[in-house]
Chain A
């Protein structure tokens, strides 16, 4: 951080302290990228103790249920299948181990950095059935849609997608409408909003009477967003504001929205870790692209697995429990040997606390349940 940025941070921290007053306020950062920044840079240590961050459901790896991981493992162990995924999915535990363990036992599982890489692999290896394990919110879904369109245009017959793409609006509605979730505002996910547009979050203000600010990912972006949330509280008028104007427009990326609409349809319902089944909260492939749908091409078992009883990821994702309030946090569950998904991804709340917690809230909030 430069001297100028430090000066800005100090100014924003002073304004936040003034605006916060004595009242305890709880702001949920929806996106795991924000959680990572908050604890990596020790932002809670800059803020008064009555301003609390609560973690939300915006880490795509964290919300994938164990059964979907088991489905992917079942596919990966088919003799003709090469399963491709992003690296942060490899260690996500399912009910029967992880994809990394499946690979160690001989399954053909490969890391890719783009679904387009998986498509290129399918073209290079026509004797293999290449399946891309697609996970992510609206940030990632356009790249998958683009890849399916390219596969269709090139007539690639040995490529398919195990689609787990999810939406952000429906889980937020489910979360904000649930009993016991007491929030004073939301920090909106910047990268999702690049695609959806900031206006897509207007429902938070209109229907739930809460302020929301779409935020960038630099430390000062988050400080400014907190200040904007507090200014809204003082004004008494809730709206969706956009702090991340350098990247996010009101309407979003219309070309990306168009390819998603062309390729995807909404699933009737989808299971989320910690949130249960939520209607219309995920994408599947449209009928005209069914030949690229791994769930139709293969006998995907559709496994349902309850979350481990000791793991509190579900409550962490709903913002009702902090990572260190889980009995296995940092003991049985570590980034090296994760039990829950929130400890796997670098964006997961548990991993962020584990790596950077001493810079932030852990220093002043006592451990519970350990």
Chain B
């Protein structure tokens, strides 16, 4: 699974999550758009069930929470 394409700085922080809008669902996997406009793929089972358009917090390739 490829989660996020490399960014210019080549860094991802070890403990910061980002808000992603869900654009696709496929079982335990989902795709979404991150704040930079990049489409990412992430594990979704920890916040299941999800709906398209939901906003979730994604960290290290897994959604860990929902944004109300």
- Chain A residues proximal to chain B, CB less than 8 Å: 31-33, 58-61, 86-90, 111, 113-117, 120, 135-137, 139-140, 142-144, 146, 191-192, 194-195, 245-248, 253, 255-256, 259, 345-347
CB-CB nearest in chain B for A346: B13
A116 touches B61 (CB 8 A): yes
* A–B Cβ pairs within 8 angstroms, 29 of them: A32-B15, A58-B15, A87-B10, A88-B13, A89-B14, A114-B3, A114-B61, A114-B62, A116-B3, A116-B43, A116-B61, A117-B1, A117-B2, A120-B1, A136-B14, A136-B60, A139-B64, A191-B57, A194-B17, A194-B65, A246-B67, A247-B57, A247-B65, A253-B46, A253-B47, A255-B48, A256-B46, A347-B13, A347-B16
Distance in angstroms between the alpha carbons of A140 and B61 in the assembled complex: 9
Chain B residues bordering chain A, tally (CB within 8 A)? 30
Residues in B whose Cβ lies below 8 Å from that of A33: 13, 15-16
Residues in B whose Cβ lies below 8 Å from that of A255: 45-48
Residues in A whose Cβ lies below 8 Å from that of B61: 113-117, 143
The reply to whether the CB of B12 lies closer than 8 angstroms to some CB of chain A is: yes
- Chain B residues proximal to chain A, CB less than 8 Å: 1-4, 6, 9-17, 42-43, 45-48, 57, 59-62, 64-68
Q: Which of B15, B45, B68 has the most CB of A within 10 A?
A: B15
B68 touches A345 (CB 8 A): no
State the Cβ distance, B44 to closest chain A Cβ, in Å: 10
CB-CB nearest in chain A for B62: A143
A247 touches B15 (CB 8 A): no
CB-CB nearest in chain B for A91: B11
Residues in B whose Cβ lies below 8 Å from that of A114: 1, 3-4, 42, 60-62
**Cβ-Cβ contact count across A and B, 8 Å cutoff:** 125
B14 touches A88 (CB 8 A): yes
Residues in B whose Cβ lies below 8 Å from that of A246: 67-68
Residues in B whose Cβ lies below 8 Å from that of A86: 11-14, 60
Question: Given A88-B11, A246-B67 in contact, is the A146-B62 Cβ separation under 8 Å?
Answer: yes
Question: Given A191-B16, A256-B64 in contact, is the A143-B59 Cβ separation under 8 Å?
Answer: yes
